[in-house]
Structure 1
């Protein structure tokens, strides 16, 4: 048994020079070193590629070309990945120094190996931060797992496929819903594994995001009135969080922001 499995980490980026250094530094500074780092660039026009090239000893694969969207970029990275375990880290997010070591330790202790490993995640912006608890049982109601804290064994992608190009914002959710419907095993790691910067693409286009989310629910586990209720309830709560009152509390009280956003948080 290989106790030192290769872990592939994929970062997709387009004009991401603002936060990319912190993202890549978090890969460089991992306590676990058997990492295959893959960067998929969508043809950036800023200084993104100059930054990536300064990490030439760390980046094993670099692809820079126009893509058909986020799903296409993810899939390009997965096609290049050769690791037993594959993770995806956004260009504006970052790992803790022991994130990959934590996942590998859990993986090594698991006799079955194959499956999807997930942990908690830290949400943050310039005004606040909090730890969001991942809850697989809520996946049919709202986005209760985030892909920076999700690691998938390579054989799962081979068995059930990669990311659907039909989804512009919630391709990660559709993949997880598909995995649940195909009874792929999920394993919870009781620890925060990644730092997720708020106000990304899906957060800025939340109404489109929720439409896609519940399209996936209807595809894999439609519960009729319950599905429609959770869709409307999620949009309502997000609408409230976007009002001046919601923003006031969002910026001043970290426990209320998760409540308004439909998230479960601790600490």
Structure 2
């Protein structure tokens, strides 16, 4: 496997002592060996920060580069933006601190991307419960205008070229839930190519977007309107289609 392109994995953490070890172990076990890990911790108080520091030598010895930023943030969008400023890689992936990836996830994702182009590859989201029991998988092919009801894939599976972020920009801190949706809508406006991949991500259910589903729907609608979609069409589509 050609490991020329560096992949920057950004993990935002705050009080995730019960799950973050799975996240770290999956990064360290990757078949792809040119990985940069960036952790943005919001000053955890539950032992998460101590765990990160305990594994710091392991990160530095097994990965191409490692960065830890510890400071208060204004939410996930702010934390992600801070991570983007530290990136030195060619491809960027956001891995949540309660999720993990399969051993060949990075290798598979990289094979789909041309770092000289605005490209995004989305993969398979395996949904699991808090005990890591699989609940099902989610991946549908993105087609034009599908975004009126959903994209058909989860952002948690998306690898993007750095060129994409350079042109589209980071995350809008005005959103609390539809942060990734707004980014994807801006990708569409900027003609980023969406590719269907086969990399796998395991996502624990019970995060913000699943706990506050109604609020997430409202923010998604607003993101569509804010990105230039017809308010009438958005409301009509929202009435007839349910988010999955």
TM-score (norm 1): 0.81
> What is the CA-CA distance between 1:226 and the residue it aligns to?
3.4
Alignment match of 1:166 (pick from 159, 162, 174): 174
C-alpha distance after superposition, 1:120-156 (max 9, x if no partner): 2111114642111143222221253322210111111
Q: Give the match for residue 102 of structure 2.
A: 96
Name structure 1 gaps, 5 residues minimum: 238-261
Aligned to 2:52: 52
1:188-203 mapped onto 2 (5 Å cutoff): 188-189=196-197, 191-203=198-210
Structure 1 counterpart of 2:63: none
What is the CA-CA distance between 1:221 and the residue it aligns to?
4.5
1:75 aligned partner: 81
Unaligned runs of 5+ in 2: 61-65
Contact 2:121/2:196 (8 A) holds in 1: yes
Distance 1:77 1:111, change over 3 A: closer
Quote how far apart the aligned CAs of 1:227 are.
1.2
Match of 1:5 in 2: 5
Report the equivalent of 2:233: 226
CA contact (8 A) 1:121 1:149 kept: yes
Distance 2:110 2:164 in 1: 16
Distance change >3 Å, CA 96–CA 171, structure 1 → 2: same
Distance 1:76 1:16 in 2: 19
1:187 aligns with 2:195: yes
Question: Once the 2 structures are TM-superposed, how far is the Cα of residue 220 of structure 1 from its aligned partner?
Answer: 2.4
- Pair 1:21-2:25 in alignment: no
TM-aligned CA deviation for residue 233 of structure 1: 5.1
**Structure 2 match to 1:249:** none
Distance 2:115 2:20 in 1: 36
Does the CA-based 8 Å contact 1:119-1:134 persist in structure 2?
A: no
**Partner Cα distance (1:111, 1:177) in 2:** 21
SS in 1 for 2:31: coil
Normalised by the size of structure 2, how large is the TM-score?
0.88
More helix by share: 1
Q: Decide which of 120, 124, 128 is 1:120's aligned counterpart.
A: 124
- Residue matched to 1:146: 154
How many residue pairs were aligned?
233
Change (3 A) 1:183 1:143: closer
Is the contact made by 1:139 and 1:145 (CA closer than 8 Å) also made in structure 2?
no
Please give the per-residue CA displacement for 1:181-222, whole angstroms capped at 9, x wherever unaligned: 121122211x24211111101111112111111111112252
- How far apart are the structure 2 equivalents of 1:46 and 1:143? 35
| Offset, 1:115 | 1.3
